[in-house]
Structure 1
Amino acid sequence: MKNIKKGIFMLLFFYCIFSCYKKTDTEDKNRKNIFEKNVKSENKSENLISIASFNAMRLGEKEKNYEVMAKIISNFDLTGIEEVMNENGLKRLKAHLIKLTGEKWEYIISESSVGSENYKEYYGYIYKSEKVQEVKKIGFYKEKNKNDFIREPYGVYFKFGNFDFIYVICHSIFGDNEKQRLIEAGNYSDVYEYFLNITEENDIIMAGDFNVPANSTAFKNLISKNNMSYILNPESDLTTLSDKKLVNSYDNFFINKEKTKEYTGRYGVYNFLRNNNGEIKKYISDHLLIFSEYSTENDLD
């Protein structure tokens, strides 16, 4: 019976997997959507890349449908992954991506896990290696104070075409109450300045699961002091799953649009649900993947 249920789950997924909840930037509503329905990523312009963030819910530890996860991630050139429990999860995902696409894929895993005594996780990145000119680990954010973050954000330098940038992945505390989350959200201004100063790279993309909507006043310093903007609309772009519906907008991107002019204004939540939230939460994740698009034709910073 268990195998029959998994078989039905797979059929439903492959029927609907290319459906995507599409958005365009509020400053440029007339732009075309990043993906037309049922169009695969290889049909995008060679001068564009799609960057994603995905809380993969204990990747490598929980039972996963790696075939379906590969189908989702294959649509994006670079995906930052939160909740990586061990390297084996990334290895399996890479193998399925290569088998599915016939392309070369590589991954990066942080040097160590971060978190509390009871729970720790790694950060991971997986990307189409033939599109990348250069990759370099920057490492973890060095905290000013010991308790700035339960899981310090992690950064990697990438160069796709002429566009080079630092991609910083974040996974904020959920904790026992909202106060803990808001305190961490208030510290992201320091994270931005840290990676800006040690790399002297103006294009810094911060993304992940912040466990707080991006329009929270807790991000005031990041937005006003550092001129960072969130990309997804927290009012409408819901990213976390309950058993019956989407409930919160905890996942987002932050960029400085004045500096990162390579951002095309195209973004979205990749919605692979078909009234099957319970199955998705069990075999994939309790989050949806988010993405944004950038030009690699010129380095505009």
Structure 2
Amino acid sequence: MAEVLSRFDLIAVQEVMKPQVIKRLEQRLESVTNEGWSSLASDTIGRGSYKEAYAFIWRDAEVSFEGGAVVYLDPGDVFAREPFSALFADRDDGQRFVYASVHILYGDGKADRTPEIRALADYWQWLEESFDAPAVLAGDFNMTPDEPAWRALGQNARPLITHGATTLSSHDNRFANLYDNIWVRPGRLDIAGSGIADFPSWLNITHETARKTVSDHAPVYITLGQTRGAR
């Protein structure tokens, strides 16, 4: 995982089952890159006995943490795992943005996912009202971006990934669903590019090995300003 993440400068991580392992990952990144890294993690969140945490990890030379880390209060109690956000800045050009991370409930089908997807429109409004900075909403949405449930959020934001797929099939070089994405308001950030990171090809490993040792989801990413993209 550190080999994959070392190609990026700021990472949002979902499904953190033990928040303390984020520090171990941070240390491993420092060992791999010979650079300083920092991280922060939420408390574990979830209904019933199943809980998980969110985390952010960033390269100190490229990204600065500006504060404001907060779990959404979710006044309607819609989210099984309330989104987590924090304010960051690009050290090269000073662009500030609030980075929000969410893992939408999978449930038994689209009907279980739709309420949380629809509630993201209110969450987006809260982000823009609470932070004096553009919003970036990233996560595992368990829903493709062309579904009707996105209509409300789509009034103010758009998905950057509209083609391809991000979940790893058990067959090499095949991806199944476009569930992971990044939503932004057009024109508010200097976005140079976006894409899906085919990390099994980077590491020259099979999808079976990738799913067991790294993740069954391929990361999605954006590049800002003059950033070169995945390293």
Q: TM-score, normalised on structure 2?
A: 0.90
| Structure 2 residue corresponding to 1:130, chosen from 61, 64, 82 | 61
Deviation at 1:140, TM superposition (A): 1.3
Q: How does 1:117-266 map to 2 (within 5 A)?
A: 117-146=48-77, 148-161=78-91, 162-201=94-133, 203-224=134-155, 226=156, 228-233=157-162, 236-244=163-171, 245-260=174-189, 262-264=190-192, 266=193
**Are the counterparts in 2 of residues 175 and 181 from structure 1 also a CA contact under 8 Å?**
yes
**Are the counterparts in 1 of residues 69 and 86 from structure 2 also a CA contact under 8 Å?**
yes
Distance in 1 separating the partners of 2:68 and 2:61 = 18
**Are the counterparts in 2 of residues 240 and 247 from structure 1 also a CA contact under 8 Å?**
yes
SS of the equivalent of 1:200 reads coil
User: Percent same amino acid at aligned positions?
Assistant: 27
Whose Rg is larger? 1
Tell whether 2:217 aligns with 1:287: yes
**Are the counterparts in 2 of residues 240 and 286 from structure 1 also a CA contact under 8 Å?**
yes
Q: Which residue of 1 aligns with 2:29?
A: 97
Query: Per-residue displacement from partner, 1:65-87 (whole Å, max 9, x unpaired)?
Result: xxxx1111011010000011112
SS of the equivalent of 2:115 reads helix
* Structure 1 residue runs without a partner (length 5+): 1-68
Which letter does structure 1 place at the counterpart of 2:219? L
SS of the equivalent of 1:186 reads helix
Q: Which residue of 1 aligns with 2:197?
A: 270
SS of the equivalent of 1:240 reads coil
Query: Per-residue displacement from partner, 1:201-258 (whole Å, max 9, x unpaired)?
Result: 2x1000010000112111101112x2x010001xx32101232231100000000012
**Are the counterparts in 1 of residues 10 and 63 from structure 2 also a CA contact under 8 Å?**
no
Change beyond 3 A, Cα 1:84–1:137: farther
Q: How does 1:54-133 map to 2 (within 5 A)?
A: 69-110=1-42, 112-133=43-64
Q: TM-score, normalised on structure 1?
A: 0.70
SS of the equivalent of 1:241 reads coil
Query: Per-residue displacement from partner, 1:108-166 (whole Å, max 9, x unpaired)?
Result: 101x21122131111001100122344313301121312x1111111100012310010
Instruction: Kindly indicate whether structure 1 or structure 2 has the higher relative contact order, using CA contacts under 8 Å at least 6 residues apart.
Output: 1
SS of the equivalent of 1:247 reads coil
SS of the equivalent of 1:273 reads helix
Change beyond 3 A, Cα 1:145–1:276: same
Which letter does structure 1 place at the counterpart of 2:36? K
**Are the counterparts in 1 of residues 37 and 60 from structure 2 also a CA contact under 8 Å?**
yes
SS of the equivalent of 2:128 reads helix
Deviation at 1:177, TM superposition (A): 2.2
SS of the equivalent of 2:79 reads coil
Deviation at 1:195, TM superposition (A): 1.3
Query: Per-residue displacement from partner, 1:276-296 (whole Å, max 9, x unpaired)?
Result: 221111111110111101127
Distance in 1 separating the partners of 2:142 and 2:64 = 33
Distance in 1 separating the partners of 2:33 and 2:47 = 37
Distance in 2 separating the partners of 1:83 and 1:258 = 31
Q: RMSD over aligned Cα, in angstroms?
A: 1.6
**Are the counterparts in 2 of residues 163 and 296 from structure 1 also a CA contact under 8 Å?**
no
Q: Which residue of 2 aligns with 1:48?
A: none
**Are the counterparts in 1 of residues 106 and 113 from structure 2 also a CA contact under 8 Å?**
yes
Count of residue pairs brought into register by the alignment: 220
Q: Which residue of 2 aligns with 1:35?
A: none
